[in-house]
Amino acid sequence: MEKEGYGNEKTEQKSAGAGGRKYEIDMCNGPLLGKILIFYVPLMLSGILQLLFNAADIVVVGRFAGNESLAAVGATGSLTNLIVNLFIGLSVGTNVLVAHFYGAGQKEELKSMVQTAIATAAISGVILIFVGFFVSRPALVLMGTPDDVISHSVLYMRIYFAGMPFMMVYNFGSAVLRAVGDTRRPLYYLLAAGIVNVILNLIFVIVFHMGVAGVATATVISQAISAALVVRCLALSDGDYRLVLKGMKIAPGKLVKMVQIGTPAGLQGALFSISNVLIQSSVNSFGSIAMAGNTAASNIEGFVYTAMNAFHQAAVSFCGQNYGAMKFKRVGKVTAICLGLVTVVGFLMGSGAYLASGLLLRIYSPDAEVIRYGTLRMAYICILYFLCGAMDVMVGSLRGMGYSIMPMLVSLTGACLFRVVWIYTAFRKVPTLECLYVSYPISWGLTFLVHLLCFAVVYRKLPGTGSSSSA
């Protein structure tokens, strides 16, 4: 296995200082359910707020710039994720390593890790500016984006990618804060940036008639604000995770570990996006109205996914800290609690979203055909969406213990490869949207079962998990 070791150093009390301690959570001692929920709620609200602000982009474009512009923004989603996810995966490595060092009480290692993470984020963002600029048009053409949409999509992507350094810094900085249990301050920063985003959306699109360029520009400005706030938070922190901007440098050893854990996560996200790009390409073949309905439904589903994905993040941080502190039985308890919670939340929210699909989709577009296509997608995905959440929790627990290659391989085989094969076999024989969408819940269920088996094998090998070790 590719597990990372962190020595046998005894866990010591972290000296976060009075200013930072009130935002942190002691993940290694005491009851877990309440602490997981305290961690989860701000993180879930952060994700939902982010989606609300993204939805504002789509709603403003759909209402004031037309179906072509709405389809143009939607057509970029899977491609943008494909390009960005590899780099975002490195933030998973940051989360895991910071949690391990923090749980083990390794202060100097923690400080060096934070420096490395933020410097890497900034460099990655600059690289992504150029990647997005030169790749956007050829990739959108390859995806079969319709002629009435593609010019708007290219413009949106190129402006959007200009904000990549800000997005990367915010994501890596938030990963550091999550690893020590602080999910509240990222929520505050996102709220401030999101309000600016909505206001600028309305000004740029309605007042200045900038269309997709307006929402993309508003997004970049809001990302810059959130990144600045996170950097300020880390730089002014009196905890061991304080960011020292002067003389900031990358520690090669930390970068290698971060890449070892984060790259498989990034590859998984990127290759998952390939299957989604293929699905988006298949949706594109049904025309711009189907694309618009798919875009609106996907955005609504995003709220359910974000609520579930917060349990994935909780599993990474809680398992990571307890693994670093060598409290292995708590790793199993964290996983069980997160699985139970994500199933309940995913089923209730997914079912509720489907039942209210007509009302919700009307927010995005009044067009009856757009609503019909959106409802069709939600019928096949929403009710069983909890399987996706359960799958992600298992991935989070494995990553929290330092295993990254294993969940990547399982996910790529059980979900990504399965969907690609489905498109070229089942969908080719039955070329309908219904056939396309049903591949999602089937792939989630299969992948979850394999992840569960892998976790059981890994967990039983940890010292004391089969006996009455202290928790």
**Could you give the 3-state DSSP secondary structure of residue 471?**
coil
* DSSP designation for 4: P
Residue type, 141: V
Helices (H), 356-385: 357-364, 368-381
User: Any idea of the CA torsion for 312, 41, 6, 467, to the nearest 10 degrees?
Assistant: -80
Per-residue pLDDT at 20: 52
Token code pair at residue 263 = 């790259």
**Separation CA 248–CA 118 (nearest Å):** 9
pTM for this model (two decimals): 0.76
Contacts of 353 (CB under 8 A, 6+ apart): 300, 301, 303, 304, 360, 378, 382
For each of the chain's 471 residues, which pLDDT tens digit applies? Answer: 344 444 444 333 343 333 456 778 888 899 999 999 999 999 899 888 877 777 677 777 777 666 667 777 777 776 777 777 777 778 888 988 998 898 888 888 889 999 999 999 999 999 999 998 998 889 888 877 787 788 888 998 899 999 999 999 999 999 999 888 888 998 899 899 989 988 998 899 888 888 888 888 998 999 999 999 999 999 998 888 889 888 788 999 899 988 888 888 777 777 776 777 777 788 887 888 888 888 888 888 888 998 999 999 899 989 988 998 889 999 999 999 999 999 999 999 999 999 999 899 988 888 888 899 899 999 989 989 999 999 999 999 999 888 888 888 898 888 788 888 898 899 889 988 888 889 889 999 999 999 999 999 999 888 876 544 444
- Name the residue among 464, 21, 448, 453 with its Cα closest to residue 237: 21
Q: Is 251 left (phi over 0), alpha (psi -120 to 50) or beta?
A: beta
Decide if 275 contacts 81 (C-beta within 8 A): no
User: C-alpha angle 252/107/398, rounded to 5°?
Assistant: 70
* DSSP designation for 208: S
